[in-house]
Amino acid sequence: MALELGLQLYSVRDELEKDFIGTLEKVASIGYKNLELFFHNADHIEESVGNLTAEELKNELDRLKMKAVSAHISPLFLNPEKMDEIINFAKMIGVSKLALSIAFFEGKQNVLDLCKHMNMMGELCKKNGIQLYYHNHFEVFQKFENQYVMDIILQNTDEDIVKIEFDTYWALRGGVDPIEYLDVLGDRCDLLHQKDLPASVDPVNIFEIIGEDANVNMNLMMKFHKIEDFTEVGEGVMDIQEIVEAFRNKPGVKYLFIEQDWTTRNQLESVEISYNYISKYFE
């Protein structure tokens, strides 16, 4: 399939909480057709979708001529019974891709433990026609035993079972060139997240601030979720055109999602600015 543009709904999470269906309508009016949902409380999936049932959500998406093509899930270590529930919900609304949104590691063994779990969960997904992904932040470019966490994940997960949803901003904040690392990922990566980095951010590489041996956990991660460190696509220093073209030229690519973690603007205004800039590369 040709590369398509989409939106990770986490980008408008505050607006969704105020008016879920109204926000979907506004997102549709901007021009977004493909959506990535987020199930950040996997024990209560409906809380992330306006307390709609799967059938109700599918009806609303159909009305708006939108598709939910993927979803983020957390917590990571779900038992098989809960995973079955998530898979069934996903299938009912048309989602065929589930991405683990984040993980933290104190050493290589933690990474290997996650790989084992992802292989198990990925196999369960695969049996149900769903592809499992890992979504990165900067933490995967910490090194254990002189290897990037991401490289350990790639080497210890089944390439058909676990794929990568690559966040270019967080790769840059981890000290790597996202375009160069796309080559490393090869056909393991067919989903991309895009936002932009303000010119004022210095240093760009977070490990220059915290050190290579830092204990990266959620508390530390949130220190680098400063609103002023994010901007809309096309308003920062990332080479968006080159990223889009590099990704498009990879075999089997599917979706590039706008994901705006934080913005100084209204969230709907933010995703509209990004859409208006990047959509020209999808005409």
Selection from 42, 40, 35, 186 nearest residue 101 by Cα: 40
- Determine the pLDDT at residue 211: 95
- Residue 164 belongs to what H/E stretch? strand 162-167
- Determine the pLDDT at residue 46: 85
Lowest average pLDDT, out of 39-48, 114-123, 139-148, 177-186, goes to: 39-48
**pLDDT tens digits, one per residue of 157-177:** 999 999 999 999 999 999 999
- Determine the pLDDT at residue 135: 97
Please enumerate in sequence order all residues whose Cβ is within 8 A of that of 129, keeping only pairs 6 or more positions apart, or say none.
91, 96
* Dist CA 196 CA 221 (whole Å): 18
What confidence tier does 76 reach under pLDDT thresholds 50, 70, 90? low
* Dist CA 146 CA 143 (whole Å): 5
Mean per-residue pLDDT, 212-236:
95
Instruction: For each of the domains in the chain, give its residue range(s) and CATH number, in order of start.
Output: 4-282 (3.20.20.150)
* % of residues, the chain, pLDDT over 70: 98
**pLDDT tens digits, one per residue of 3-62:** 999 999 999 999 999 999 999 999 999 999 999 999 887 778 888 899 999 999 999 999
Average pLDDT, whole number, for the chain?
Answer: 95
Q: Assess whether pLDDT exceeds 90 at residue 100.
A: yes
Residue 257 bridge partners (DSSP): 6, 193
- Determine the pLDDT at residue 45: 85
Q: Assess whether pLDDT exceeds 80 at residue 182.
A: yes
What confidence tier does 112 reach under pLDDT thresholds 50, 70, 90? very high
Collapsed DSSP state (helix, strand, coil) of residue 73 = strand
- Determine the pLDDT at residue 41: 78
**pLDDT tens digits, one per residue of 79-93:** 667 888 899 999 999
Model-level pTM? Answer: 0.97
- Determine the pLDDT at residue 5: 98
Contact of 80 with 114, CB cutoff 8 Å: no
- Determine the pLDDT at residue 81: 73
